[in-house]
Structure 1
Amino acid sequence: MMTANYHTHTPRCHHAVGDEREYIENAIKAGIKLLGFSDHTPQLYENGYISPIRMTPEEAPGYVDRLRTLADEYRGDIEIHIGFEAEYFPGIFDRLRGLCRDLGAEYLILGQHCLSDESEGAVWSTSPAGEGELKKYVDVVTEGLSTGCFTYLAHPDVLRYTGGDEKFYHDEMTRLCRAAKELSVPLEINMLGLGDHRFYPSDRFFDIAAEVGNDVIIGCDAHDPAALLDEETYSRAVGMAKARGLNLLERAELRRI
């Protein structure tokens, strides 16, 4: 049984359903003791571009206020934490970090969906990627982790590498895993990808994580309240970790933003 989940979305990202109360109620039904909300941050692009898959800067205070109200209401039934899932773009990250701090967010998880600024035409990590894209992904992620701001790395294997050089993949992902281990950042086994039969979570990636000795954590990545009741997918995620002897954490240490 899952006892803690730090990866939960809300409709403010424009690609999730249900409301915050439904997520909380289902978490309680599932026996979850700690529920962390980590909807996508707004991206503070200098040209004013508004991402269609994230809340706007103007919506962010309402997100935090709503969750604070519910955290008080459900106190004694479940522990609720307020965070964000963020991309790491060096040019705007300091401003984004400042916004999250000002809002009183408790934690960030790193979810690198884009290899380039959306406002300039995003290169999505889920698109077919070769060696250049893989190297850039690892460069960006390791630089982001080195800020010390991220509680864990969400779907670390989200880059869809279609290059034929398996040694290159192994070397680059070993570099990512070693950086995460040195910084004591857990890697997420992503239930959304597992349940939807996506290309992640990847056996070959978590084989590398096992070689390096990374800590892992299971994240529901809930975009629907029903996801929090999915015991079958959770059991499969646990199996991925146990089959490789990975150290599976039930809870994460929230890092100061």
Structure 2
Amino acid sequence: MKANYHTHTYRCHHAVGTEREYVEAAIRAGLQILGFSDHSPYVFKDGHYSSFRMRPEELPEYVLTLSGLREEYKEQIQIHIGLEAEYYRENWSDYLNLLKGSGVEYLILGQHYADGEYPGAEYSGKPSDDEKRLRAYVDSVLEGVNTGLFSYVAHPDILNFTGEEAVYDSEMHRLVDGVFRAGVPFEINLLGLRERRSYPCERFWKILEPYRCPVILGADVHDPQWMYPAETIEEAKKMAEAHHLGVTEQLDITRLKKHGI
């Protein structure tokens, strides 16, 4: 593994470590490319501030800090500036306005909430047999990738559905087919694998298997010490191989630029 595009920092309020500490950890691990994708700020119409993401006013300093480190370490590693964001239809135009001219290069889609962070909304990883929430999750992911702005789908199998298997299979077939047609890669999430979370989810990857599409390994690192979890990386590679999915480290990070953002 020579590239990781899924890296957080202390700015999301639930990770530890400065940007510099992550850069130096990546260099020690032998990475050639390090993409930062901290939990994106979002502009909510009701003035809501999320507790698990950076605030809008923190974005300029995030970009400025990473731009400086990119120049400082350019002889040792390639650094890219990104964000991990959800797709929320009602907030999307305001979000794009926030991004314009910010210096952010790429987005990865991490749908931590099915369709919004409204009062009572439940985290996607919480076990639930709610079919409406499952469909809302799939709808949001598909709408997100069809904007053409996301470089890949992070932990696509985060939705922890405990209802009827046939319903899950139907909806995940819809998700996989739509994302595949949009030409957007899927991530095998190393954090979820290492911590034995509900994802990566075997039943999801069985659905993906016939597509023979490339997948990306994402460290989803929230602490510099886990920049390169060697045993987990090998486990993820074996998982991809078992499902006939090739692992790629090539990522299109020009989608925002192509859309003038």
TM-score range, shorter chain: over 0.9
Aligned to 2:147: 147
The question of 1:195 aligning with 2:198 is answered no
Aligned to 1:18: 17
Deviates more, 1:108-117 or 1:207-216: 207-216
Q: Structure 1 segments of 4 or more deviating over 4 A?
A: none
Which amino acid in structure 1 is aligned with residue 166 of structure 2?
Answer: K
Q: For residues 87 and 229 of structure 1, what CA distance do their matches in structure 2 show? A: 25
- Maintained 8 Å contact 2:125/2:198: no
User: Which secondary structure state, in structure 1, belongs to the residue aligned with residue 92 of structure 2?
Assistant: helix
* Shift, 1:207, TM fit: 1.0
Aligned to 2:122: 123
Aligned to 2:259: none
* Shift, 1:214, TM fit: 2.9
Deviates more, 1:96-105 or 1:171-180: 96-105
Partner deviation per Cα, 1:1-43 (whole Å, 9 max, x = no partner):
x100000001000000111111111111111100000001111
Root mean square deviation, CA, Å: 1.1
User: Which secondary structure state, in structure 1, belongs to the residue aligned with residue 79 of structure 2?
Assistant: strand
Which amino acid in structure 2 is aligned with residue 44 of structure 1?
Answer: V
Could you tell me which runs of 5 or more consecutive residues in structure 2 were left unpaired when the two chains were aligned: 257-261
Q: For residues 202 and 17 of structure 1, what CA distance do their matches in structure 2 show? A: 27
- Maintained 8 Å contact 1:137/1:159: yes
User: Which secondary structure state, in structure 1, belongs to the residue aligned with residue 37 of structure 2?
Assistant: strand
* Shift, 1:121, TM fit: 3.0
The question of 1:136 aligning with 2:136 is answered yes
- Maintained 8 Å contact 1:116/1:123: no
Which amino acid in structure 2 is aligned with residue 51 of structure 1?
Answer: S
* Shift, 1:196, TM fit: 0.4
Which amino acid in structure 2 is aligned with residue 147 of structure 1?
Answer: T
* TM-score, structure 1 as length reference: 0.96
Q: For residues 203 and 113 of structure 2, what CA distance do their matches in structure 1 show? A: 22
* Shift, 1:93, TM fit: 1.2
- Maintained 8 Å contact 2:115/2:136: no
* TM-score, structure 2 as length reference: 0.95
Aligned to 1:234: 233
Could you tell me which runs of 5 or more consecutive residues in structure 1 were left unpaired when the two chains were aligned: none
- Maintained 8 Å contact 1:108/1:150: yes
Q: For residues 9 and 170 of structure 1, what CA distance do their matches in structure 2 show? A: 31
Aligned to 1:75: 74
Partner deviation per Cα, 1:165-210 (whole Å, 9 max, x = no partner):
2122111111111111111100000000000010100111111111
* Shift, 1:66, TM fit: 0.3
| Percent of residue pairs identical | 49
